[in-house]
Amino acid sequence: MRMSSLLLYWDYNRMATFTDDTLTLYKGDFREIIKDLEYDYVLTDPPYNINYKYPDYEDKMDENEYINMFSHFQGVKTIIIHYPEAIVNYICEGIGRVSKLIAWCYSNNGSAKAHRSIAFFNCSPDFNKVKQPYKNTNDKRIKKLIENGSEGARMYDWFNDIQMIKNVSKEKISSFTNQIPIKLLERILLMTTSQGDTILDPFFGSGSLYFACKNTGRKCIGIEQSQQHIDSFMERNAN
């Protein structure tokens, strides 16, 4: 998608909006924008409130404000990829009880193992909708399964076949330290949502959800308050 194929217009009160057939992207604080939007699911990797200073905003809230931020998703089908584990208590206090928790396991810095939890609120994944690729396709039993039409192994509530994006990856955006792989988002979408659904990411970042939605036939609404992040997405989308 070339930048020229995107429509750009300005709401001088607070936001710029970029749209194409898949995405509507707003600039601003999602708490000021979300009330006017219609969507089916929320899928996001939220800020961790760790006092990190970005060029145009700071990831720092007091405890009550941070909890209240998640309360905007009460009663909404919400999926949150979170790390570190300590923030899950704040998420649950803001949104409510977790419907399902699964683990995305990956290698970190070579041989070290790490994981992030994926929390589902007011919805649950259907593991029958996706398959995990077979690892040893030379195994006789697996060869037989493939010959009989099997597309992969059964999914469970943890998986380790999708790796964190490394600095040398073509998918890597240099300005993002915790970039979520498109394949991970595609898997979550396929096991939880349906084609034609509209997915909201209130912390749009580098725009990985846009590409996952485009690849799986979903619509995407993004909200991002950092102009630097929006510029990174626009450059990524133009390439």
Q: Is the pLDDT of residue 11 over 50?
A: no
Q: Over the stretch 185-232, which tens digit does the pLDDT of each residue have? A: 999 999 999 999 999 999 999 999 999 999 999 999 999 988 888 998
- Spatial separation of the C-alpha atoms in residues 40 and 216, rounded to whole Å: 15
CATH of domain 3-238: 3.40.50.150
Report DSSP letters for 83-95, one per residue.
Answer: -SGGGHHHHHHHH
Tokens of 193: 């949502």
Longest dimension (CA), the chain: 64
Indicate the SS3 state at residue 136: coil
Please report, for the chain, the start and end positions of each structural domain, with discontinuous segments joined by +: 3-238
Q: Over the stretch 100-123, which tens digit does the pLDDT of each residue have? A: 999 998 876 555 678 889 999 999
- Spatial separation of the C-alpha atoms in residues 228 and 57, rounded to whole Å: 10
Please state the φ and ψ torsions of residue 11, each to the nearest 5 degrees.
-100, 105
pLDDT at 133: 85
Predicted TM-score (pTM) of this structure: 0.87
CA distances from residue 2 to 7, 15, 146 in whole angstroms, order as listed? 11, 22, 39
pLDDT at 197: 98
Report H helices in 6-139. Answer: 30-33, 63-70, 88-95
CA distances from residue 158 to 15, 101, 135 in whole angstroms, order as listed? 38, 9, 15
Window from 51-55, 140-144, 196-200 with minimum mean pLDDT: 51-55
Q: What letter represents residue 95's amino acid?
A: I
